[in-house]
Structure 1
């Protein structure tokens, strides 16, 4: 019997990782700029600090809901199509925002930021693209490399925002924040171009060819939901990702307000907020390769158990910190980032390993949809909880939410053997 020649997946996977590493830096810069200027732009447009955090919520909302069409595109055209679609939507968002700034229309800014969240979606989906051709024994590490690359853009992005504003003001002039939006748009265009040119052959389509699933039926988010209801490993991964994201967003969103309540000088408070949130971001991304190695060595479930414990500890440390207890608060926020990293990498590895390549886009898309909606819920709930019960009670509530994943982690999780042929 003649065996068809198989592509050298080792070399192809190295190319995939290099490409995704580059795009995560570029895309991370775009997202970092967007988050940095979002609250300021919306506050200036509306004249009310009540809506200052709306930009972050809209980012999350756009990231969640763009999953639905993106899954269909990924099913048809592979990872290149889905990722490029996400960044194209973000470019459209920057154009809407620039128009809204010139028209002084706050409602259009809201719509634009919703579209801009697509860049965040594409960044999250990139971790799955890194796992398509990864050896089973290295899947966690390869996922984590892409997650780690986000550190560069997330940390540098806010500084690039100020630089873009100064350059645009000097060369072109016009209203504030236009320079930041132009920078985001150019970065997203460049990211989409790198994906289109260098992410070839497509890792998902190649994985399907290797598994004999090229003729498998195309699936939607609804198929991902059905898979989660029948596959325990997928269900556990989806719940872990969603609850971890809920806790991280819920605590982080109100930390700046908690710090400001303990300081009389607004400028000094902003400096402290920047340092503490910077440490938090470092906790989220910097140790991702270590988390990935732990997933490869010990499996996803022990890492998820550890991540849950770290999230609870983070809530205890941060929630017991007074508003002026910056050292304790910093420790709590670093732990919060580490716990999120464990939940995100561990759940992604678990979900990816539990299904065949034909089912991955719909299942992974469903996981990210639930993850995004959970974050939206955290953003909506955290404000009223802090207003009426305080930051400490918010952390207590988030610790309880984190513990809700424990029943799903009990017992042995054994991903089913992939079926032969089209799934």
Structure 2
């Protein structure tokens, strides 16, 4: 069947969109579990193997640096060969990295651990890049909801993953594998299954089909205004995702270390991280509706405000209070979600179909690098000051979203005035 046959009517296009969403969502259930492994125990494993708290943020930094390189690679591969090729390759790399972490823990080999964490980051990048596949075949009025549907699917695996920390740790120990490496064994299997689903079922390729669609009106009308809109939307969308990612990774990375230092066990830590990841993904359907109905900019502003609230609560939470830490981490996840969905919609709105995947990959590279910076800085800040200082500083930094999205509003207002004068 030719590519145009899949979209020769609104009904055919809608049917293909729904099928694509189902396939991507099925893969995200598994990849969510893989994503959660490193988040939950990565810092603890590094602390054990490196023997210092000051470097416990290094795993998050490494797999986020790996995520940065993979984001660009997956974006470019998707541009050339389609989403199926790019996403499958990314998950295969993530599975390889997870297996490497397990082997490094068995051998107590720090060099292999660091290299494997870098490769493991490809799974994180691919998990995020999959959200674009959900939006390839829909117009701007439904883009937020399409992105959100993919993120919601991630919730199932991502919430289950941290709660399996104890079980996977015990299973690993029965095989003479260090308990903290158990979740990475789960990640290896989960990423492998996610990639297999996409390789077998993501046909026809949604990105390649989208290139046969007629351009949206904004792509052809008023080219000077379109150029300004592209610059404004890409800057605002990238800044929104970069700042929210940096703050979220920094605070999230040090929460397990903070809890361990104050006597909380792995079960309590797993619960808090599971609730945090639920906050990252579960609100997505509502977020998508808000992005489509009230606009990208108000939701991005809400992201900054929510992250500030998370920082204040986590800083003020008594050391023994799991409930308040959980509330802070839920808000931290929600703020990230608001920023990711609104920022993704801004980027996808602005990027022409012909270069969309490359633009998305480049922006996700910046997002991942910001997360790496947050991961590195988090351990240093906590070691030099405190977890409370890190939390407050992160919340204040998140408010930097506001001036960037205000710039986007100005571009759109100018375009509308000029269009009216024309």
TM more than 0.5:
yes
The within-5 A match list for 1:66-145 is 66-101=70-105, 103-145=107-149
Native 8 Å contact 1:292 1:345 kept in 2: yes
Q: Which has the higher contact order (CA 8 A, sep 6+)?
A: 2
* 2:196 corresponds to 1:200: no
Matched, 1:346 2:348: no
Partner of 1:398: 394
- Residues 95 and 278 of structure 1: is their aligned pair in 2 closer, same or farther, counting only changes over 3 Å? closer
Deviations 1:206-237 (CA, angstroms, capped at 9, x unpaired): 00111479xxxxxxxxxxxxx99961111100
The C-alpha deviation readout for 1:75-109, integer Å capped at 9, x for no partner, is: 11111111011112123323433543454422012
* Number of the residue aligned with 1:253: 253
Rounded to whole Å, the distance in 2 between the matches of 1:139 and 1:76 is 23
Query: CA 1:296–1:51 in structure 2 vs 1: closer, same or farther (change >3 Å)?
Result: same
CA deviations over 1:165-191 (Å, ceiling 9, x no partner): 555666xx3433676555433332222
Return closer, same or farther for 1:276/1:38 CA change in 2, 3 Å cut-off.
closer
Counterpart for residue 69 of structure 2: 65
For residue 272 of structure 2, what is the aligned residue in structure 1? 276
Secondary structure at the residue paired with 1:210? coil
Match in the other structure for 2:150? 146
Are positions 1:14 and 2:18 aligned together? yes
Kept in 2, the 8 Å contact 1:208–1:357? The answer is yes
Question: Which 10-residue stretch deviates more, 97-106 or 236-245?
Answer: 97-106
The answer on whether the counterparts of 1:282 and 1:337 sit within 8 Å (CA) in structure 2 is yes
1:414 match: 412
- Give CA deviations for 1:145-201 in whole Å, capped at 9, x if unaligned: 11111111111123445545555666xx34336765554333322221211121111
- Work out the CA distance in 1 between the residues paired with 2:164 and 2:310: 30
CA 138–405 in structure 1, closer or farther in 2 if over 3 Å, else same: same
Distance (Å, rounded) in 2 between the aligned partners of 1:167 and 1:327: 29
* Gap change, CA 1:38 and 1:324, over 3 Å in 2: closer
In the alignment, the residues of structure 1 paired with residue 367 and residue 337 of structure 2 have an alpha-carbon distance, to the nearest angstrom, of 14
Residue 82 of structure 2 aligns to a residue whose secondary structure is helix
Q: Does 1:231 align with 2:228?
A: no
Q: Structure 1 residues 228 and 20 mapped into 2: Cα distance closer, same or farther (>3 Å)?
A: farther
Query: How far apart, in 2, do the equivalents of 1:289 and 1:377 lie?
Result: 29
Q: 1:296 aligned to 2:292?
A: yes
Question: What are the ranges of 5 or more consecutive residues in structure 1 without an aligned counterpart?
Answer: 214-226, 418-423
Structure 2 equivalent of residue 360 of structure 1: 356
Contact 1:233 1:414 in 2 (8 A): no
CA gap 1:287/1:118 in 2 versus in 1, 3 angstroms: same
Question: Mean Cα displacement is larger for which, 103-112 or 248-257?
Answer: 248-257
How has the CA–CA distance of structure 1 residues 22 and 209 changed in structure 2, closer, same or farther, with 3 Å as cutoff? same
Partner of 1:309: 305
Cα distance, 1:292 vs structure 2? 0.5
| Corresponding position: 1:377 with 2:373 | yes
Alignment root-mean-square deviation, CA: 2.8
Question: Could you tell me how far 1:40 is from its partner in structure 2?
Answer: 4.5
Secondary structure of 2:204 counterpart: coil
CA–CA distance in structure 2, aligned partners of residues 329 and 405 of structure 1 = 24
The answer to whether the Cα contact below 8 Å between 1:228 and 1:363 also exists between their aligned partners in 2 is no
TM-score (norm 2): 0.84
Give the corresponding residue for 1:223.
none
Unaligned runs of 5+ in 2: 217-226, 417-422
Three-state SS of the structure 2 residue aligned to 1:209 is coil
More helix by share: 2
Q: Distance in 2 between matches of 1:129 and 1:55?
A: 28
Segment of structure 1 superposing worse, 204-213 or 396-405: 204-213
